[in-house]
Structures are given as C-alpha cells and as structure tokens.
Amino acid sequence: MRLTPADWSIVALYFLFNVAVGLYYKRRAGRDTAEFFLSGRNVPWWLAGTSMVATTFAADTPLAVTGLVARNGVAGNWLWWNLLASGMLTVFFYARLWRRAGVMTDIEFSEIRYAGRPAAFLRGFRALYLGVLINCIILGWVNLAMVKILQLLFGVGKLEALALVLGLIALTSAISTLSGLWGVLVTDLFQFVIKMGMVIVLAVVAVHAVGGIDAMKEKLALLPGHGSVLSFVPDVGSAWMPLITFFVYIGVNWWATWYPGAEPGGGGYIAQRMFSAKDEKHSVLATLWFNIAHYAVRPWPWILVALASLILFPGLADPETGYVRVMIDYLPSSLRGLMVAAFAAAYMSTIATQLNWGASYLVNDCYRRFLRRDATERHYVRASQVATVLLTVVSAVATFYMGSIAGAWKLLIVTGAGTGTVLLLRWYWWRINAWSEVSAMIAAFAVSVLLQTAGGFDSDRPVDFAWIMLITVAITTGAWLAVTFLTRPEPEGTLVAFYRRTRPSRAGWGPVAALAPDVRASADGLANLLDWAAGCVLIYGALFGVGKLLLHETLPGVVLLGVGAIAGAVIYRDLSRRGWGSVVE
C-alpha cells in the first residue's frame, strides 16, 4: 500500500504526540512506584474505563474477530461475548472489594488473604507465571498481528516486518518507561478515539464495496457452507458451532476460566485500573463503562468488515488477513495515513499496558518482595524501567512461535479452565486457602496439556475445545476442593484482618465475622445479583439490537434496544438508591 507524504505526516504527528505525553508525565511517574503503576490512585472513572477498553482493542483484535467470523460465522464471537457475564460480576460484586484491598497488584492480594510460606510462594509464582510467561504470550500474539499487518501493508517478509515491530515496541517501551501509568492512560484515551473512528470508517467502506447491506446478505447466503454465517446464535447442528461448544461458552467458560482482561472477579490490568481509581464509586463506574464499550460499542465495525472480506477475498489461507486486505484494496488513499496511525494506536495501547502491568508484577511482587526489600522508591522506579525493557525483548521471541491469534486465545482459555471458581470464591468463602489456588493452577495446566498431547484433543476443533473445557473444569474443581479440605484453613488473625480490610459479605464468612462483630460488612448480595442480570441484558440488548438495525431488521433491533434501555434504567435506579460507592449493613 502506497502512502503519500501527507499520510506519512499524519503518522509522524501521531508518534510525536505520544512522545510528548511521555515527556510531560516523566516527572510525576518518577516520584514513586504508586505514581508509576497506579497514577497515585487518583484516576477518574471515564479515563480508567476508557483505558481498559483501549487496552483490549489491540492490533490483533479485528484480525482475530475476522478469523472467528470466517471459520464460525457471527456466532463465533461467543468465544469472547460469553465473558460479559464475568465482566458484570466484576462490576457489581468485586470492584468495590478490589478498591478496598488497597494493594498495588492483584497478585499482592495473595499475602493479605493468605499467610505464611504458601502465600509467599503463590505470590512469587504468579508474578513470574503471569508477569513473564503469560504476559509474553499476550505480547507475542499482539506482535504477530502487527507483523501480519505490516507484511501486507508494505509487502515485506516476516523478518523485515518484525524489525519494524521491534521499532514500535522500543518506542512504546520508552514512553511507558518515562511516563508510567499516567502516560499510558492519557495516550490510551487519544488512541481509542483514533482507532474507533477509523474502524467505523473502514466498516462503511467495506459494506459499500460489496454493494450495501442487502447485497452483502444475499452474497453471503450464496457462499458454500455459509448459510448460517449471520446467525447471532448458532443453529442446532450448526457446522459453525456445535451445540456442545455453544453450551460451554455460555454455561461454563465465563465463570470457570482465567483469561487476561476477563478474569473471574477481575484481575491483571483490569484490577490495576480499579486500584488506580479515585474511590469505590469510580472503580464501579470504570468497570461498568469498560464492559459497555467493550461488548456493545466496538464489535460491529469489525464484524461488518469481516463479513465483507468473505465476499471480497473468498478462500484465504489465512482468513485473519482479510481485514487488512479490505483496508489495502478499498480504503480511499486520503485516509490511509489515519488508518496506519489507528493500527499503530491499537498496537501501542495494548503493548504499553502489558509492559507496565507485567513490570508491576516483576518489581512489586518478585524483586521488591523477595530480593530487595529496603531500597528507595527511586530505585524501584528504575527497576521498573529495567523490567519494562526486559519484557520487551522476551516478547519479541514469543512472536516466532505463533501462527494463529485466535489459537493463542484458545490456548490461554483451556490452560486456565477450572481456576475461575477459586478466584471468585476466595472473596466470599473463608475456607479457601493458598493451596486451593496453587492446586487449581497446577491441575488446570496439567490436565489441559495432557488432553491435547496424550489425549489427542485439538482446541482448534470446536467439539474438542468443548470437551477439553468440560473435562479440565471437572478435574480441576475436584482437585482444588479436595486440597482445600485436606489442608488447614488460614490463621484466624489473617482472616480477620482481611475481613476488616475488605468487608465482604458475611454469608460465607460466618466464623470469621463472629470474631469481628463490629465490622459493617457488605449486605448487597441480592441487589448485586439483580444488577448483574440487568447488566447482561443491557449490553446484550444493545449489542444484538445494533446488529439487527445494521442488518436492516428494524423491528427486532428496536425491541432489543428497548429491552436493554429498561435494564439500564433498573441499574441506575438501584445504584442511585443504594449509593454508587460502598454499600454496607
């Protein structure tokens, strides 16, 4: 794709703005680790929430969605749409609790909830496992997406494209190293506006290229094997998605599986944004806005381009590249510079967050906790900068070992199957201990790997994916429950201190609550459950209502949007009545 001098000027201005932001926040970020990783815990909800959305809108996302639609139709997006239920749990059951915890990372949580060497082991192990291994898999697939994009844009080989990506990583790493989380948040806001605007433009262009919505529907119906490609829910016996796979998505996956950005109960960079929020109210609003934007605002521009790519570029060996091919062949030349900047924004926003988040684990939960406990804040800031650079280098290596972005998504889902129940219950059941988490992680990883090696299951096949999930969840749940009851509970002092600090519901903390009768614990379980259900209705109503309107099915679209609006009113009325921040007995 040829870029004019004007296009290159737009791209250059985009990069200059990001550098300027990094330099502006350099002094503030260098004060201490609380500023570097949490922006002094003074971030407004709209900025924290938008940063969450921008982070999950990476360069890989539209490509992965295109691949899902090409292989499994619109219903293939249930691979991630199902996670809305988990996101709503975070909003109404966990956002306040995370903010009350007052920790710097979700891994630090281990040593306020548990005690002794098991807690220390869990903290250190998760810091390395998530901060290095899992984080670099995520960075690797984001790099892979950008490599694919650059190969197509500039007609270069994988090595040349990777060299360009390394340049982008170096720039992003430098900005993140200079500015800490404040720089990440502000550039995320700017980047989200650019990339959201341009994917909408590309969707309009793609639909026009196939002759409009009605023509697109007719042409999709003629493609071999694509009869149900437009179905929001798969048909019984669908070749796109077998019924058992759909059941696993909507009935098991969202609560049972750890997945970055959608951890049951919140975690990772989502938790980091909640920690950085001004107070509990801002924590709740940030996660609510994130889920609305993530599931209801963003998907359709990607899906429309993906559907158009099936018509414009049928039979691609790598269907994920269809998105970029539409951009190259059909986007007006006057907009190409902005689109390149949008892809750079999508890439950089995710990379910046992953580097800052991963560095927080390595420094706060590994280096500071186990290696150097008495250094100055300035020393830890410098260590954070070194950790950022280290992660940058390791992530580049991971890119070589990935061939499919969607495949990497599924890999993380199946290796985390069964751990979600522990992450949810550790807040609401006093009997959970450190060994519960350790055993869940080990069992989930071991079972899923054995099923895919010795068992011959393939997570890329829908039915196999479903069985991997069901078997792994069943065995993992049995394993961690057995370990929980075979090991001692946490010491009373640790449990009481945690109960006083976070004030969870008394329902699962009876023996501990009896030791702290003065604590005004949360008493909003039923109301939160109502809000959770209404939140799911709100977002699914908006998602499918907008989809129906875009596909010229006006009446169903209006009805779905109306149902979503009613659900939103229920949430607003309830939270206004109870208070948007802390709710206690």
Range with the lowest mean pLDDT among 25-34, 37-46, 275-284?
Answer: 25-34
Beta bridge partner(s), residue 277: 43
The percent of residues above 70 in pLDDT, for the chain, comes to 91
State the Cα angle at 151 between 147 and 152, rounded to 5°: 120
The residue among 559, 560, 570 whose CA lies nearest residue 535 is 570
278, 108 in Cβ contact below 8 A? no
| d(C-alpha 295, C-alpha 560), whole Å | 15
| d(C-alpha 439, C-alpha 503), whole Å | 26
Q: 372: which residues sit within 8 A by CB, 6+ positions away?
A: 379, 383
Three-state secondary-structure class, residue 257: strand
pLDDT value at position 368? Answer: 87
The residue among 409, 410, 408 whose CA lies nearest residue 465 is 410
Residue with tokens 């490609």: 229
Helix residue ranges, H only, 363-491: 377-398, 405-415, 420-425, 434-452, 462-486
CATH homologous superfamily for the domain 1-72+140-227+286-403: Sodium/glucose cotransporter (1.20.1730.10)
Q: Which residue has the higher pLDDT, 198 or 25?
A: 198
pLDDT value at position 208? Answer: 95
Three-state secondary structure readout of 487-512: CCCCCHHHHHHHHHHHCCCHHHCHHH
What are the domain boundaries of the chain? 1-72+140-227+286-403, 523-585
pLDDT, tens only, 32-72: 677 777 777 888 999 999 988 888 887 778 888 998 888 88
For residue 549, what pLDDT band results from cuts at 50, 70 and 90? very high
DSSP string, 500-555: HHH---GGG-HHHHTT-TT------HHHHHHHHHHHHHHHHHHHHHHHHHHTT-HH
pLDDT, tens only, 216-235: 999 888 877 545 788 888 76
For residue 236, what pLDDT band results from cuts at 50, 70 and 90? low
pLDDT, tens only, 385-426: 788 778 877 777 766 665 554 555 556 666 677 788 999 999
Mean pLDDT of the region 302-317: 92
The residue among 61, 389, 24 whose CA lies nearest residue 184 is 24
| d(C-alpha 28, C-alpha 25), whole Å | 5
DSSP3 helix / strand / coil % (the chain, rounded to 5): 75, 0, 20
pLDDT, tens only, 493-535: 999 999 999 999 888 999 999 999 888 766 677 888 999 999 9
Q: What is the pTM of this model?
A: 0.85
For residue 582, what pLDDT band results from cuts at 50, 70 and 90? very low
pLDDT value at position 384? Answer: 80
